[in-house]
Amino acid sequence: MPTEAIELDDMRHAASAACALMKTLANPDRLLILCQLSQGEKRVGELEALLGIVQPTLSQQLTVLREQQLVSTRRDGKHIYYSLCSPQALALMRALFNEFCRTPGGLPASPTQPHP
């Protein structure tokens, strides 16, 4: 067997981790939050204003993202700042942005239309 081959147990573990991340990203509110955080650290109030997600829902989704260790927090006085801390989530957010947000109307480019 080549030394570059990935062991089946390692592949299963990696697949499980990837599925957990994709399951977390499958919620539209969480995806929007991570999209904003991929651009830099934001206060909770900023996220609420930018995304139009009401406070109870925003808090619930931020809790899920914290529990999944995708975001980290820091407190400055009365304000809590969130940032994206998962390199895997950031890589997926970049890929999703390139596929879904870089074309007019946010639609994926057709096979004959190159990305800008």
Map residue 14 onto helix, strand or coil: helix
CA distances from 12 to 7, 21, 23, 88, 112 (A): 9, 14, 16, 17, 36
Are the beta carbons of 115 and 109 closer than 8 angstroms? Answer: yes
The fold of 30-102 is Arc Repressor Mutant, subunit A (1.10.10)
Cross-strand pairs, 82: 42, 73
pLDDT digits (tens, 9 = 90+) for 16-30: 999 999 999 999 999
Domain ranges of the chain: 30-102
**Report field, pTM of the whole predicted structure over 0.85:** no
The Cα 116–Cα 98 span in angstroms is 10
pLDDT digits (tens, 9 = 90+) for 70-101: 999 999 999 999 999 999 999 999 999 888 88
Are the beta carbons of 34 and 70 closer than 8 angstroms? Answer: yes
